């Protein structure tokens, strides 16, 4: 699960160069994750490593955990997979540099940095709705058997939001959020032109999550507070729009 998340979400080569009124709290690696609302349960946990090469070669220990919450019909409302390093590489081993690719396509909107030899990696993506099992299998395949083993029911389609940030010390936080189709995101517009079937509210929510992921990596506490999650069955849920008016 760990390597798959890092490969798809970050899309980067990594090298070491010398020189709500309710919330659920969970620990993942060095990160203190605060999920919005109540009813969250842990689905799976896995330890792994983030490997790096170049002038120095080594690995950084990571932890991956998956969490879910159910709707009133006992179907998964949201499935969150969080991968976090447990530490960085340490100052005596130089610095991590990245070669990130964070470009949009017809299937998803992306925003972040792209290039070679960057001192940090920053990228978030918002995917158009995709059949539930297909998208989970493509992005976090180790999570799907856990869902099936627990006999959890998936909605037909899922909206997928991915967020990743890594700094020059090798501290990384990667988040994948799958939500049911009635997820509204935030009641905000965005200035970007969006691909078909990708909504401004979802992009605004992804931007807010990206801010939290970045802040978590940069902070000593590692605290990551997820934005509020609103579904259209909730009172006062906003309508989705595809772009700024």
Domain that holds residue 99: 2-225
Edge-to-edge order in the sheet of strand 31-36? 23-28, 31-36, 223-225
User: Does any domain span residue 204?
Assistant: yes
pLDDT tens digits for range 171-229 = 999 999 999 999 999 988 888 889 999 999 999 999 999 999 999 999 999 999 999 99
Q: Is the pLDDT of residue 231 over 80?
A: yes
| Residues contacting 23, CB < 8 A, separation 6+ | 34, 35, 36, 37, 38, 225
- 3-state per-residue secondary structure call for 172-217: EEEEEEEECCCECCCCCCCCCCCCCCCCHHHHHHHHHHHHHHHHHH
User: Does any domain span residue 17?
Assistant: yes
Q: Domains in the chain: how many in total?
A: 1
pLDDT at res. 86: 93
pLDDT grade for 15, boundaries at 50, 70 and 90: very low
Q: Is the pLDDT of residue 66 over 70?
A: yes
User: Does any domain span residue 110?
Assistant: yes
User: Does any domain span residue 211?
Assistant: yes
SS3 168: coil
Higher pLDDT, residue 28 or 243: 28
CB atoms within 10 A of CB 99: 16
Q: How far apart are the first and last CA of the chain?
A: 39
pLDDT at res. 92: 64
pLDDT at res. 17: 38
Mean pLDDT of all residues in 109-124:
93
Q: Is the pLDDT of residue 236 over 80?
A: no
CB 27 within 8 A of CB 117: no
Mean pLDDT of all residues in 82-91:
86
Tokens linked to 88: 């960085």
| Residues contacting 240, CB < 8 A, separation 6+ | 184, 185, 199, 200, 201, 202
User: Does any domain span residue 239?
Assistant: no
User: Does any domain span residue 220?
Assistant: yes
User: Does any domain span residue 131?
Assistant: yes
User: Does any domain span residue 237?
Assistant: no
């Amino acid at each position: 699960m760990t390597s798959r998340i890092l490969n798809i979400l970050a899309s980067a080569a990594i090298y070491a160069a010398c020189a709500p009124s309710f919330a659920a709290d969970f620990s993942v690696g060095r990160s203190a994750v605060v999920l919005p609302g109540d009813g969250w349960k842990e689905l799976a946990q896995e330890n792994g490593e983030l490997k790096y090469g170049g002038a120095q070669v080594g690995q950084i220990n990571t932890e991956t955990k998956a969490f879910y919450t159910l709707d009133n019909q006992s179907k998964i409302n949201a499935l969150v997979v969080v991968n976090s390093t447990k530490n960085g590489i340490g100052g005596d081993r130089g610095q991590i540099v990245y070669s990130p690719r964070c470009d949009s396509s017809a299937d998803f909107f992306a925003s972040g940095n792209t290039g070679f030899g960057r001192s940090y990696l920053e990228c978030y993506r918002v995917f158009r709705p995709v059949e539930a099992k297909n998208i989970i299998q493509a992005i976090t395949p180790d999570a799907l058997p856990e869902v099936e083993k627990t006999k959890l029911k998936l909605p037909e389609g899922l909206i997928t939001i991915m967020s990743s940030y890594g700094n020059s010390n090798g501290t990384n936080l990667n988040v994948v959020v799958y939500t049911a189709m009635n997820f509204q995101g935030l009641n905000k517009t965005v200035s970007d032109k969006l691909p078909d079937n990708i909504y401004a509210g979802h992009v605004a929510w992804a931007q807010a999550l990206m801010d939290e992921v970045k802040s978590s990596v940069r902070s000593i506490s590692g605290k990551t507070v997820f934005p509020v999650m609103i579904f259209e069955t909730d009172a006062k849920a906003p309508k989705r729009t595809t772009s700024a008016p």
